[in-house]
Structure formats: structure tokens, C-alpha cells
């Protein structure tokens, strides 16, 4: 006796009615599409329009063509902010990624207590930025923070006003942001490393590879999609960085830690130049779009990323 097979394979697309094939999926998609149009697409398009106006944020906007962009290219603070974004990007493409790769590689060999370390490293990422910033603001405080404490212990060179010195403000904020960010990357890389075929490592060892050679020739190629993805989001996030900078330095002192997003905020809400802020925002989006396009193009050309 043969049991009836449950749901024998049916020819799916051709015999299903039009409603099932076309209308029904769109009905499910429609709500989220509408929501996206309302809260993302429409404001984005309106921001593109406002970038060409002198809108203050209140009342009507007057079309001024490319004036905001002309001003932007001669605005010293814009270039300072752009440079700071590039520095920020460079820092985040190297320091946290290197730390996370090394950390994940070390942890991949830990058999007991790995979950504990994962949690410990991940906790900063789920903490509210306001809380993290408040903690680090105290640690870096010029009167009671780590600098003055080290100086009291006989290390006068360590008495650095981290957030108040124009030479260190940006790097200090980047350090704090990195402190919360690298644990997230570590967990991503660890998960990716654990999916690398173990036989590749065994083969490498049989060939006499040491740990470093294993890491370079097996691990890195094995996690390349994850690695490239994190590089892409790092670049994009670097141009969107706002919260830690706004909380810790507000872009100061003397614009030393100003980035494009804090500049946009100040233009829109302090100087009431919403049109100019939209122009900076549009420029920032174009920069991010360039990196995104490079990523997509490389994928289309067959790169395994």
C-alpha cells in the first residue's frame, strides 16, 4: 500500500490564476511600500527640492538654483567637516575591523566560555549612546578623568584634555564610538568564521601552514562576503556619524570634530537654513551612493562579495 504524498509537486506559476501570481504578492507588499513612500521616499524627494531653495524650515521656500551648492563648495567648515568624515571613515575602516578580526580569530579557537566573551564584547553595542557617552565623558573629563589621574600618578604627559583639545577631540570621540562598535563586528566575524569549512584548515595544517597563514589564506577568504559587507556599511555609517559627536563635543571645539551630519543639524536647527542643510544632506547621500554603487557593480561583475 502506498501512502498518498502530501501536496505532490504542482506546476506553480503557469497554472496559478493571475490574482495568485501577481496581485496577491503586491497586496502584501503594498502596505510597506506605501509606508516607505510616506516616510522615506517623499521626504527624500522633498529634501532634494529644498536643497535648491532658501527654505528656513518655516513658511514657503524660494527656488535659488545651485546657490546652496556654490556656497557649500566655498564653505571652509563644510570642507573641514568633510575631511573629518574621511578621517573618521579611515579610522573605522582600520581600527575596529582589525580589532574585531583579531578578536574573532582568537575567540574562534576558544572552546569554553566563548558565549561569555561574546556577550561581554557585544554589550557596549546594545547600550544607549547617551549612556555610553556619559560614561566616557566622565572618564575623559579634564578635572577628574583619566588624564589628570595619570598625571597625579607621575605621568604629566598624560594630562590631555581629550575632548577639549582641537588635536584630540575627533580621535577621542572616534575612540568612544569604536569602543561600542567593534564588539558588534567581532560577533559578525565570529559567526562568519564558524561557517568556514573546517576541512580547509586541516588541509592548510597538513601543508604546514602556521596560524597567521591559516588566517590569511583560509579565514579571510572564507569570510570575504561578511568582511566586504562590513566595509561597505562602515563607509556609509562613517558619513552618517552623529550621536556620539553631538553628545560629546557638539562638533567642537572650533569645529575640530565637526562632521557633515552635525553641520546639517546646526544649519537646519540653529541657523534656520534648512535649504542649505538639505544641500549638505544631498551631497552626503551622493557620496554614500557612490560607495554603494561601487559595491553593487563589483558584485555584478562577479566578485564574491
Query: Using CB under 8 A as the criterion, which residues of the chain lie in contact with another protein when the complex forms?
Result: 24, 27-28, 30-31, 34-35, 38, 56-60, 137, 140-144, 161-166, 169, 249-250, 252-255, 266, 269-272
Nearer to another protein among residue 227 and residue 268 (C-beta)? 268
Nearer to another protein among residue 62 and residue 211 (C-beta)? 62
Question: Considering the complex, what minimum distance in angstroms separates the CB of residue 41 from another protein?
Answer: 13
Nearer to another protein among residue 54 and residue 214 (C-beta)? 54
| 150 CB-contact burial (10 Å; exposed 0-12 / middle 13-18 / buried 19+) | middle
Question: Considering the complex, what minimum distance in angstroms separates the CB of residue 168 from another protein?
Answer: 9
50 within 8 A of 63, measured Cβ to Cβ: no
How many Cα atoms sit within 13 Å of 305 on the Cβ side? 16
Nearer to another protein among residue 164 and residue 222 (C-beta)? 164
Nearer to another protein among residue 35 and residue 106 (C-beta)? 35
Distance (Å, whole) CA 10 – CA 196:
36
Nearer to another protein among residue 238 and residue 255 (C-beta)? 255
Please, which residues have CB within 8 angstroms of residue 219's CB and are 6 or more apart in sequence?
A: 105, 108, 193, 196
Question: What sign does the dihedral 142-144-145-149 (CA atoms) show?
Answer: positive
How do the residues of the chain divide into helix, strand and coil, expressed in percent and rounded to 5? 70, 0, 30
Distance (Å, whole) CA 186 – CA 112:
17
Question: Considering the complex, what minimum distance in angstroms separates the CB of residue 138 from another protein?
Answer: 10
Question: Considering the complex, what minimum distance in angstroms separates the CB of residue 243 from another protein?
Answer: 15
Instruction: Count other Cβ atoms within 10 Å, centred on residue 185.
Output: 26
Question: Considering the complex, what minimum distance in angstroms separates the CB of residue 285 from another protein?
Answer: 21
Which grid coordinates are listed for 48? 532634494
Question: Considering the complex, what minimum distance in angstroms separates the CB of residue 23 from another protein?
Answer: 9
Amino acid at each position: 500500500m502506498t501512502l498518498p504524498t502530501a501536496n505532490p509537486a504542482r506546476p506553480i506559476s503557469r497554472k496559478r490564476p493571475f490574482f495568485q501570481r501577481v496581485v496577491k504578492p503586491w497586496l502584501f507588499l503594498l502596505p510597506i511600500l506605501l509606508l516607505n513612500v510616506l516616510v522615506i521616499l517623499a521626504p527624500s524627494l522633498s529634501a532634494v527640492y529644498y536643497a535648491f531653495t532658501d527654505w528656513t524650515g518655516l513658511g514657503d521656500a524660494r527656488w535659488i538654483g545651485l546657490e546652496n551648492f556654490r556656497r557649500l563648495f566655498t564653505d571652509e567648515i563644510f570642507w573641514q567637516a568633510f575631511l573629518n568624515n574621511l578621517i573618521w571613515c579611515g579610522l573605522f575602516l582600520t581600527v575596529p575591523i582589525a580589532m574585531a578580526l583579531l578578536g574573532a580569530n582568537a575567540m574562534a579557537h576558544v572552546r569554553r566560555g566563548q558565549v561569555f566573551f561574546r556577550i561581554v564584547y557585544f554589550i557596549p553595542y546594545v547600550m544607549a549612546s547617551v549612556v555610553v557617552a556619559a560614561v566616557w565623558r566622565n572618564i575623559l573629563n579634564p578635572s577628574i578623568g583619566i588624564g589628570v589621574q595619570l598625571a597625579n600618578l607621575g605621568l604629566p604627559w598624560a594630562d590631555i584634555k581629550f575632548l577639549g583639545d582641537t588635536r584630540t577631540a575627533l580621535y577621542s570621540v572616534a575612540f568612544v564610538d569604536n569602543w561600542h562598535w567593534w564588539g558588534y563586528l567581532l560577533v559578525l566575524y565570529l559567526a562568519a568564521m564558524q561557517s568556514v569549512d573546517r576541512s580547509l584548515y586541516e588541509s592548510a595544517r597538513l601543508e604546514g601552514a602556521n596560524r597567521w597563514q591559516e588566517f590569511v589564506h583560509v579565514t579571510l577568504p572564507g569570510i570575504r562576503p561578511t568582511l566586504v559587507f562590513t566595509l561597505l556599511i562602515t563607509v556609509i555609517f562613517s558619513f552618517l556619524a552623529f550621536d556620539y559627536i553631538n553628545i560629546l563635543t557638539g562638533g567642537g571645539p572650533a569645529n575640530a570634530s565637526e562632521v557633515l551630519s552635525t553641520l546639517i543639524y546646526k544649519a537646519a536647527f540653529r541657523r534656520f537654513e534648512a535649504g542649505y542643510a538639505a544641500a549638505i544632506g544631498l551631497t552626503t547621500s551622493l557620496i554614500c551612493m557612490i560607495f554603494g554603487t561601487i559595491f553593487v557593480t563589483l558584485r555584478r561583475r562577479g566578485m564574491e562579495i
